[in-house]
Structure 1
Amino acid sequence: MTGDSENPNADVQYHLEVGPADVAETVLLPGNPDRLETIVAHWDDHDNKARHREYRTATGTYEGTPISVTSTGIGSPSAAIAVEELARVGCETFIRVGSCGAIQPEMAVGDLVITTGAVRQEGTSEEYVRADYPATADYEVVSALVAAAERLGYEYHTGVTMSADSFYAGQGRPGFEGFEAAGSADLVDQLKAANVKNIEMEASAILTLATVYGLRAGAVCTVYANRETGEFRTEGESRAAETATLATHLLAKMDAIKREAGADRWHAGLSLEE
């Protein structure tokens, strides 16, 4: 029995330092805390709610839709903490907003990747559920992200993401003094052959936890590097932020249309058109 020893804070979450009044139902999840400023720049207004360790949280509105952002730091362990604690204060939809490396040659730096599912090459989600459990994005979130990218006119790709636990060895890069992990030389080629689109470090854990808990999650990342062509530029960071922001508004509209129609889930018979 642990009693109350797991969280010494009575009113706020231990790591994020937020309570139920601090966050909206939908939260954007960038890794880099500094990316919070890029995201809230697209909103109509915002208030900074908390800052602790790698976690920064702000809440505001976009076109009348409440929206929050919480940075997660690098990697799945800290991202899982964010999902856990945000879920405990009432958040129901999570959208990862990040950067990634593309592994298909037709994907340009600055393009967006909207994740439909993820290869779970990270250990965090395996501490929740068996390894063959799928990491899948909620199709409503995917639909909203695609609709947002289309409305904004941004180039985007949809498909499977690989989430790794390390930036170097786990993504097939050489380590210190040229160290090569077992299998790293063939990793990118194998993923490419399986039509995996991109590599990053958080999506699979976020998707897995959301599915386990009956919540919605998705991911949109800007391509910073193409591992096939060798191109690398930090370009288009704001595109993922703007797309996720608009998608949050579209999800709210979708939810309202569902309620009016008496539908449990979004389907092709419903329309977002005015």
Structure 2
Amino acid sequence: MNPVHILAKKGEVAENVLVVGDPGRARLISSFLDSPQLVNENRGFLVYTGFYKGSRISVATHGIGGPSMAIVFEELHMLGAKNFVRLGTVGALVPEVKLGEYIVPSGASYNPGGLIFQYIGDLTSSSASPDFNLTQKLVSSLGSSNLRFHVGNVFSSDAFYAEDKNFVEKWSSRGNIGVEMECATLFFLSKLRKTKAAAVLVVSDNLATGGDWISKDELERSVKEAAKLILTVLSEIKE
């Protein structure tokens, strides 16, 4: 089957891919690559391929939510991608996680049904956890930096504006320290397709302390710092 949304040609997408939701963020991160080439802009799913520290890497846009992530993941995989790291934003669900810090997901909770149901055909929960070795490399790299981070489970929501007054208590009481929208899909599909995936998430807001948001400048600074760290980790992967 050929991709119908990512219209890059076979060979134009690298095996190692940094994926982000925002096309503007993809454009920003592509500036860190040597000789970046825009290999897709169809549907706004910008995909750039270039080199970082001598290794060939792609930076791709996955859009918002699980279905969008699923389409982009499947099509990048069709085009040869094997290792995926999502760099995104996350809302903290516990007060000790501060704005501008990072969450490295050790797993992703999700509501039964919907997208994953369509893949597996029943409501039995399927594992949505990242690749251990890739996650370990990201944690080790963060640990060697001056960046503050937390490792823990996140909840992957399908509805950005559906939080009610019980939302934080419900999901934090189940061991989740943050909420975002794509990690469960990425981790589940990566296992299904026998690829590797992990994530580093910038804390953009904290729902447990009133929902204050990070400033645009601080968010961009945190994204840039994480992007360089992720690109370094991807550049060191040897098949």
Tell me the TM-score normalised to structure 1 length: 0.79
Aligned partner of 1:203 among 175, 183, 186: 183
Partner of 1:114: 104
**Which residue of structure 1 lines up, in the alignment, with residue 207 of structure 2?**
227
Q: CA separation of 1:51/1:93 partners in 2, compared to 1, >3 Å: closer, same or farther? A: same
1:250 correspondence with 2:233 = yes
Residue by residue over 1:135-169, the C-alpha shift from the partner in whole angstroms, topping out at 9 and shown as x without a partner, is: 00001121121122223321111111111111101
Q: Deviation of residue 241 (structure 1)? A: 4.8
Equivalent in 167, 172, 175 of residue 192 of structure 1: 172
TM-score, normalising length from structure 2? 0.90
Q: 2:115 aligns with which of 115, 124, 135?
A: 124
Answer yes or no: is the 8 Å Cα contact 1:161–1:199 preserved in 2.
Answer: yes
Sort the Cα spacing of 1:29 and 1:254 in 2 relative to 1 into closer, same or farther, 3 A. closer
Aligned residue type for 2:60: T
Q: How many positions carry a matched residue from both structures?
A: 233
Among candidates 145, 150, 158, match of residue 138 of structure 2: 145
Once the two structures are overlaid, the 10-residue window that deviates more, 76-85 or 32-41, is 32-41
Deviation of 1:218 after TM superposition, in Å, equals 0.8
Q: Which residue of 1 aligns with 2:75?
A: 85
Q: Distance in 1 between matches of 2:230 and 2:204?
A: 21
Question: Residue 66 of structure 2 aligns to which amino acid in structure 1?
Answer: S
Is 1:96 matched up with 2:86? yes
* Match in the other structure for 1:260: none
User: Gaps spanning 5+ residues in structure 2: where?
Assistant: none
Question: Which of 145, 149, 153 is equivalent to 1:156?
Answer: 149
Greater relative contact order: 1 or 2 (C-alpha under 8 angstroms, separation 6 or more)? 2
- Quick one: percent identity of the two aligned structures? 31
Equivalences for residues 49-88 of structure 1 within 5 A = 49-88=39-78
Asked whether the equivalents of residues 56 and 235 of structure 2 are also in contact (C-alpha less than 8 Å), the reply is: no
Structure 1 gaps of 5+ residues are 1-5, 8-12, 173-183, 257-274
- Contact 2:57 2:234 survives alignment (8 Å): no
In structure 2, C-alpha distance between the alignment counterparts of 1:150 and 1:201, rounded to whole Å:
25
